[in-house]
Homo-oligomer: A and B are copies of this chain.
Amino acid sequence: MSRPATRELLALNTATVREQWTLPEAIEGCARAGIRGIAPWRDQLAEYGTANAARLLRAHGLDVTGLCRGGMFPAADAAGRQRALDDNRRAVDEAVAIAARCLVLVVGGLPPGSRDLAGARGQVSDGIGALLEYARSAGMPLAIEPLHPMYAADRACVNTLAQANDLCDEFGAGLGIALDVYHVWWDPALAAEIRRAGRSRLLAFHLCDWLVPTRDLLTDRGMMGDGVIDIAQIRGWVEAAGYDGYCEVEIFSRDWWARPGDEVLRVCCERILRC
């Protein structure tokens, strides 16, 4: 069912080394490590320059597995929603400029002061609808990333793969999914919803691990193999559904941010062989 795990399947989400390395350093680090895919963040493009980043990525022949991130649609008022939409269009442009496979959408949580979760979800649907035509024209797929329910309030109110699939049903072409094992591993419906998503919707596949105990909601994610997620099983489901893209490592961790970037990449390369 699965392809053999090799270093060539590995992509680096630059958040994994964001405290050690600038974007050009991460690009050069990937080249040194023999890692062929990378997913940068927008703040890094702003800092280094999108055109500079595009040139350096091309010079090293790196595949850009995604740009992190668009989304954050819900807002307290119409002006805020318009600002979010404008910013998302710029994110589409940047994703095109660096030839990203998709623009990852972290859709946003509750507007400040709100307890209206259903309303926030409605704003997400409206926001995706408003952005999608622009993204289609630009030829840039949008990838909804369902986030763990512990982020429902402040980061993303799309918290299951079923919700993401429902949005894809609603909007059709140009909308897909970025699946991160950290966010979905607990879901009893995961295997069925991966089958439902299928090859056409699965635009990115992110890896890290769930540590026991988890000491922080944001910055205590684990290196693959150090936690409890059966990554090989989920990868098997994803590949059985037709996904043949990169396995992108995205680890938010104070522990791994404290180590030299080259060491982090070396461990990523070792661990990918085991999952």
Contacts and interface: CB of A to CB of B under 8 A. Distances in A.
B229 A186 contact: no
Interface in A152-183: 152-154, 157, 159-160, 162-163
19 contacts: A110-B212, A116-B230, A117-B185, A121-B188, A148-B149, A149-B149, A150-B217, A152-B185, A152-B186, A153-B186, A153-B212, A153-B228, A157-B186, A159-B187, A160-B188, A162-B188, A213-B217, A215-B217, A217-B217
How many copies of the chain does the oligomer comprise?
A: 2
A164 B215 CA distance: 27
A110 B210 CA distance: 12
Interface residues of A, number: 31
A181 to B, nearest CB: 11
A115 interface: yes
A230 B115 contact: yes
A92 B227 CA distance: 34
Contact of A210 (B153, B212, B213): B153
A214 interface: yes
B159 A117 contact: no
Interface of A: 110, 114-117, 121, 148-150, 152-154, 157, 159-160, 162-163, 185-188, 210, 212-215, 217, 227-230
Contact of A217 (B160, B163, B186, B214): B214
A190 to B, nearest CB: 9
A229 B115 contact: yes
A163 B190 CA distance: 13
A173 to B, nearest CB: 24
A159 to B, nearest CB: 6
Contact of A154 (B116, B159, B213): B213
